[in-house]
Structure 1
Amino acid sequence: MAIRPKNVDIAATVLSIHGVTASLDGQVLGTASTDPFDTATLNPRVDETGIPTSVLGWTKTMPSGWSIDNTGMGTGGMAEWRGWSLTNDDFWTKTQTGQQRESNVRARGVFAVADSDEWSDKATSGSFNSTIVSPSYNVTGKSSAAIRFGSHYLKEGGETATVSVSFNGGAAQNLLTYTGDAVAKLENLSVAVPAGATSMVVRWRLSNGVNNWYWAVDNPSVTLS
């Protein structure tokens, strides 16, 4: 399926045609997707009654090797947003206007969302605690790992958004904690691979959310060296 372009892609494409490289929100039209999330098959709404049933836009089924850990996730709430979900612009921006969802201009196609705000639009018990878990990467003989992803986060209350890694199934090593809004960012994190490590897993966790905004993550990748 072709990835729908955005208005911000026009400037990037025109500059590229003229051989100019610039750091912009847009990307060049025709750029092939390498995003694992774009392989997802999306479903019609369940609890989001304001969205037409013809709009396919959410799933809890992750690509092969990826998973969602909802240990500690509260109960109830909107089914589409009970923990991390995969979604797209058509669906997610229709859930609520005026909350900067349309400012997620770095994302393309299918992306992951942890939306404590929308989850709380039906009665809930407990708080929003959910984690995306990456596949296990083989880091044998490597010295460093670069973790890249698009990020769109609005901070409120006691909600916490973190990125961590663990090697050989060991303790999590925190790489990033958002203490404020991170609107339409491209994150590039780096971590040293410990001597003797053979595997690495990355986790994106939103925790302690109680009707507290959201976090969108797109196009995650790991480069080893």
Structure 2
Amino acid sequence: MKRQHWFLLCLALTATAAADARAFDFSSVLLEEDFESLVLGESVNVRRATIASPVTELATAPNTSAIPNAFTHTGPTGWAVDNTLGTYLGAPTSGNTGVPGQGVADYGVDEWEGWSFADKDFWVRAAGGQDRELFAGASGNVAVVDGDEYFDLGDPDDAVNGGYFNSGLKSRSVAVDTTVGIQLQFNSSWRAEAFDDGHKNPAFNDTNNQSVEIYALVDGSTLMPIDSWDSQEFLDEAETTPNPSFKGDNVDEVLTYNLFTALSPELSGASSVEIVFNYANAANDWWWAIDNVQVASLDGGGLPVNAYLEDFEGVTLGDSVNERDGFPIVKRAGDDAESAPIADAYTSAQPTGWGREFEHPVKGDDDLGAFEFEGWSFASQDFWGELGSGRADFIDGEGTVAVADGDVWDDVGDPESQGEMQTMFETPAIDISGLDAEQQLVLEFASSWREEDSQAAIVTVDLGAGPVEILRWESSGGDENYFKEDALSEKVSLVVDPQGASTATFAFSYVGTNDWWWAIDNVRVGAVPEPSSLMLVSLAALGLVGRRRNGSAS
């Protein structure tokens, strides 16, 4: 079996891995919202025109058209937008309540009238970027409140409709057990601006101070502060006294709050919590956007720290190439005029920040190997599942899944005769600096595996000193110590000693030819309390560190 250097490195470091393969119930994630379930509608004021870039116009503007799948003001079930917000940190908002010009066709860009839920790419293109594109932690749909874009139709000092911008977003109610604590985490993008806009009431001119308030609404009535910040850098005109509540630009960050510590003792005994995200006193300033909101119970049996989540739903799928509608696989897209590509089928473009490698002696040959499965691909589960042989049984995966399928790849020409496929893809470097000393790192993912011949699957982790193998599965033709029987749908959990590292990068490698497949979905990284030293020592002594012989994780 030929292997490239990156594959050999994984083998050489196997003995130093400190991973424990155990089953974890991630039920302690009480709320998980990435806004991907929302149905987006057509744009209103952000229009297609005769030029390439979108323009901001009235909906009736000639020679323009709406952009599909752009935004909605309807949030997830149980979530609520408040466009009548009138307080910030308990004090009245500056000059007015709510969002000025609501419902007025020629004032305010409809897409950004209060909190909106928008396709991230649409939001970025509509605004012409301006660093919104740097919100790398978000993908697909995001929740956005954007005073800068809203006032592209109308001014805050408009005598009739003017005013400052105030809008709140409240999550659905979450049942909690406060005896074990609660954690809130989400991706955030913020750009600050203040004191540079008029108001329809001149008494409030230049009092705009784009601000954020995050709080928990406990049992539907008690307000418990979590965090707040604003755009005022200094408290005096001489700019000598820093404002402790100032938050400078941070267009891509992960915010994590231990609510039990922050809110105790008032939270003690509560039965439910709603998370509120308020944006207040903004004018033609900048924005705040969030994604991947998670509330977790710190019960030690689940996911105390959700450092990372990737479900591949943010990638854009394109037409199939060799897999054709109405015909089995053909060598070339044009081999038969009656065949047609399948829309929204797959892509080889990995999520932002991920790396991908594919090696084969004749890679890139149009006559050898199905295009869709030249290495790790990201495919619609429906498209991939229709290829049969048990692929549709991957019920733990959903939407778009990551697939390495040597079986289907070999169906065009005979690439097996030229050598085996070797492919790897890896996460970005994930920030784990927030882990406590007693916590262990957890990797969980949904997996579908069907074994044959020399097929192999490997997972490695790089904590800053190079990749270390923490899981290996081989088929019946490989080493019996690593044999993994068919498991068409399961959840796999691996515990890794973080060894004081500040980042972790996980890689998923596959080797195979005309064998079967390995597919994964819903990659999560988090933390659990440290397992006993005895457990780790016992695993190492038995030679089981980094192995999962039977793969049972559910």
- Give the TM interval when normalised to the shorter protein: 0.7 to 0.9
Aligned to 1:108: 139
Relative to the length of structure 1, the TM-score reads 0.80
Out of 29, 38, 41, the residue aligned to residue 39 of structure 2 is: 41
The answer to whether the Cα contact below 8 Å between 1:36 and 1:63 also exists between their aligned partners in 2 is no
Aligned to 1:180: 248
Aligned to 1:70: 83
The answer to whether the Cα contact below 8 Å between 1:138 and 1:199 also exists between their aligned partners in 2 is yes
Aligned to 1:122: 153
Out of 169, 180, 186, the residue aligned to residue 220 of structure 2 is: 169
The alignment covers a number of residue pairs equal to: 195
CA offsets, 1:76-101, max 9 Å, x none?
A: 41111000000112211111225111
TM superposition shift of 1:41? 0.6
SS at match of 1:172: strand
CA offsets, 1:116-168, max 9 Å, x none?
A: 00000112522111111001111245431111110001011101012111211
Aligned to 2:171: 134
- State how far apart, in whole Å, the 2-side matches of 1:168 and 1:56 are: 36
Cα root mean square deviation, aligned: 2.1
CA offsets, 1:172-224, max 9 Å, x none?
A: 22212232222210111111162221111101111111011001100101001
Alpha-carbon distance change, 136 to 156 in structure 1, aligned in 2, over 3 angstroms: same
Structure 1 unaligned blocks of 5 or more: 1-13, 20-33
The answer to whether the Cα contact below 8 Å between 1:142 and 1:224 also exists between their aligned partners in 2 is no
Aligned to 1:22: none
- State, as a whole percentage, how many aligned pairs show the same letter: 30
- State how far apart, in whole Å, the 1-side matches of 2:121 and 2:115 are: 17
Higher relative contact order (CA 8 A, sep 6+): 1
Relative to the length of structure 2, the TM-score reads 0.34
Q: Which runs of 4+ in 1 moved over 6 A?
A: none
Out of 58, 75, 83, the residue aligned to residue 114 of structure 2 is: 83
- State how far apart, in whole Å, the 1-side matches of 2:252 and 2:178 are: 34
The answer to whether the Cα contact below 8 Å between 1:55 and 1:90 also exists between their aligned partners in 2 is no
SS at match of 2:213: strand
The one-letter code matched in structure 1 to 2:252 is A
Out of 279, 282, 295, the residue aligned to residue 206 of structure 1 is: 279
- Which structure has the greater CA radius of gyration? 2
The one-letter code matched in structure 1 to 2:185 is R
The one-letter code matched in structure 1 to 2:109 is M
The answer to whether the Cα contact below 8 Å between 2:132 and 2:251 also exists between their aligned partners in 1 is no
The one-letter code matched in structure 1 to 2:249 is D
